[in-house]
Amino acid sequence: MEVVGRRPHAVWMCVFLTLLLFINDAHSFYLPGVAPQDFVKGDLLKVKVNKLTSVKTQLPYSYYSLPYCKPEKIVDSAENLGEVLRGDRIENSPYVFKMREPQMCNVVCNVTLNAKEAKEFKEKIDDEYRVNMILDNLPLVVPYKRPDMDSLFYQHGFPVGMKGQYAGRTEEKYFIHNHLAFTVKYHKDEETDAARIVGFEVKPFSVKHDYEGKWDDKTRLTTCDPHAKRTVTSSETPQEVEDNKEIIFTYDVEFQESEVKWASRWDTYLYMADDQIHWFSIVNSLMIVLFLSGMVAMIMLRTLYRDISKYNQLETQEEAQEETGWKLVHGDVFRPPTNSDLLCVYVGTGIQFFGMILVTMIFAALGFLSPSNRGGIMTAMLLLWVFMGIFAGYAAARLYKMFKGTEWKKITFQTAFMFPGIVFAIFFVLNALIWGEASSGAVPFGTMFVLVLLWFGISVPLVFVGSYVGFKKPAIEDPVKTNKIPRQIPEQAWYMNPFFSILIGGILPFGAVFIELFFILTSIWLHQFYYIFGFLFLVFIILIITCAEISIVLCYFQLCSEDYLWWWRSYLTSGSSALYLFLYAAFYFFTKLNITKPVSGILYFGYMLIGSYAFFVLTGTIGFYACFWFTRLIYSSVKID
């Protein structure tokens, strides 16, 4: 937690490096830790420890928050902004290997627990916490074999311990995993003696070590002895966690040559047996798009073409007055809506979001933001959001000037502060709750200061620059003149009720993405890697098309029923998909997660509220611009006296 508070220069270094990622050539610049490293026999391999994680509490803790064996001096590894926000705390460990030199029963240290320490271990075992470690930028995994499958699958990190009973007893005891059997897989270069690490696995054991005499540096264990070639097995007596119990931590290291090359070493970590579901998701989304595209094509090619031809052939005013439909509201369709300032702010913010997500997905799909670069995606998104402020200001100012607005500084100020301010307020409250739990997931003061500095120092000025440029441009001209007196809107059918049509409009955009949403939620809340950015990019394109088309279809029906109040409804129609996203998040919480602590539940719904709010702004803006283009197109195509 205090890491970044002590070292703000590390955060600025990460900002600088992330900027370099975007402006340097991919072949000439490597991210720290991503470039391959060669090791010859006997080279030191330093294992790093990361946070303790639990899917039950969602609250990460520093490795050394438990009384594990410590090195002489704990050194914090340099972290980027994304890692800090994720709660990663990467530090050195007392585990030291030598390349291709197996070790058996190395003693790390012995610890005698007091009552408080024993209680902390028990609580972490109850909450199913897992210990995460890193070697050569590869996370530690525990291999498992599923009964229904031949292939292995991997779980990240090993459990702190387990609960169990002795044979013939009913009392439940706590046991700690104090012996780790590491396996380091390497790929050897055929021409040289050098090798690269391609796998880092562990099998954890709980064993009550025995020894003779008093404990000192030369004490030999009787339960685990390299001289007698005695290794730890699962049949040993397990090590209990109790007050005043002595625990001896030991480890083995085995090296295995592997055919896997360094470039493919993440493939086993990222293997997914259910990729067919993703194809089903794409096909499902494409069916929705084809259905909507058919409707839009029918409206544009048949109905609209017929309407425009008929309107343009009318010769007398009397004939025109007899007509009904969307042409009748031409004098009101471009009348500025109520709360037009707020609409400008949300459209500008939506453009900022759209630019951030589009660029992030392109970089991720090209492989720049791979899982090997921990925190890279979050850092990139944060920086892109800041720099996309210039487009937010420009879009808001252009729309504001079209609505005959004159106070461009006021609209700029609202664009720069409204959405980030709401998100920051929710984030601050959630962070205070995490801080109250003494979790490493709490963002320290130093990082908070950097976030505020990025917001006020870069984002806000860029919003003002974009707004100034946008307001200097000539105002967007309406294709038809607006009447001075608003036309009365006739009584609408029940299915054209704004509330009903807005709710209906959000179903299809959500339906296009909800299967992929399941995998995204799983990666975030069940601590799994999400890496199929090609699929995600395709789903994002489908989402854009779906939002645009459903908004156009419902906007056309609305105008045909002589209701010209389309501005806000076009935004809310596709934006209402965020409501379904939040409802799905609630469904996921009760069906897939096993969160028990109230604070963890508040954190989940707080973060999902932020996510749904962002989704509302994004999809609403897409729908608005689609309708904006559509109405200008159809009203510029008819002759109006």
pLDDT, tens only, 3-24:
333 333 443 334 333 333 333 3
- As a whole number of angstroms, the distance between CA 396 and CA 471 comes to 9
* Any domain includes 191: yes
* Any domain includes 546: no
For residue 162, the SS3 value is strand
With a CB cutoff of 8 Å and minimum separation 6, the contacts of 5 are: 444, 445, 446, 447
Mean pLDDT to the nearest integer, 191-202: 88
Four-residue CA torsion sign, 221, 224, 225, 228:
positive
Domain-ending residue, one of 424, 450, 474: 474
Q: State whether 113 and 261 are in the same domain.
A: yes
Q: Looking at the 3D structure of the chain, how many domains does it have?
A: 2
How many CA atoms are closer than 13 Å to the CA of 453, on its beta-carbon side? 10
Q: 263: which DSSP letter?
A: G
Q: What is the mean pLDDT of the chain?
A: 84
Q: State whether 242 and 368 are in the same domain.
A: no
Question: What are 566's two structure tokens?
Answer: 């389309």
* Any domain includes 635: no
Q: State whether 363 and 215 are in the same domain.
A: no
How confident is the model over 219-246, as pLDDT tens digits? 788 888 777 677 887 777 888 998 888 8
Choose from 31-35, 140-144, 584-588, 595-599 the range with maximum mean pLDDT: 584-588
* Any domain includes 592: no
* Any domain includes 536: no
- As a whole number of angstroms, the distance between CA 433 and CA 597 comes to 12
Q: State whether 84 and 216 are in the same domain.
A: yes
- As a whole number of angstroms, the distance between CA 417 and CA 424 comes to 10
Question: What are 604's two structure tokens?
Answer: 């989940």
Q: State whether 65 and 152 are in the same domain.
A: yes
| Cα–Cα nearest to 598, from 56, 51, 1, 52 | 56
Q: State whether 53 and 146 are in the same domain.
A: yes
Question: Which domain covers residue 170, as residue numbers?
Answer: 43-269
Q: Which residues of 304-337 are buried (b: 16+ CB within 10 A; e: fewer)?
A: beebeeebeebeeeeeeeeeeebbbbbbbbbbbe
* Any domain includes 25: no
Domain-ending residue, one of 452, 474, 496: 474
* Any domain includes 306: no
Predicted pLDDT at 275: 57
Q: State whether 258 and 342 are in the same domain.
A: no
Q: State whether 137 and 241 are in the same domain.
A: yes
Domain-ending residue, one of 269, 302, 317: 269
Q: State whether 239 and 129 are in the same domain.
A: yes
Q: Look at residue 185 and tell me whether its pLDDT is greater than 90.
A: yes
Q: State whether 258 and 347 are in the same domain.
A: no
* Any domain includes 20: no
- As a whole number of angstroms, the distance between CA 156 and CA 130 comes to 8
Mean pLDDT to the nearest integer, 308-329: 61
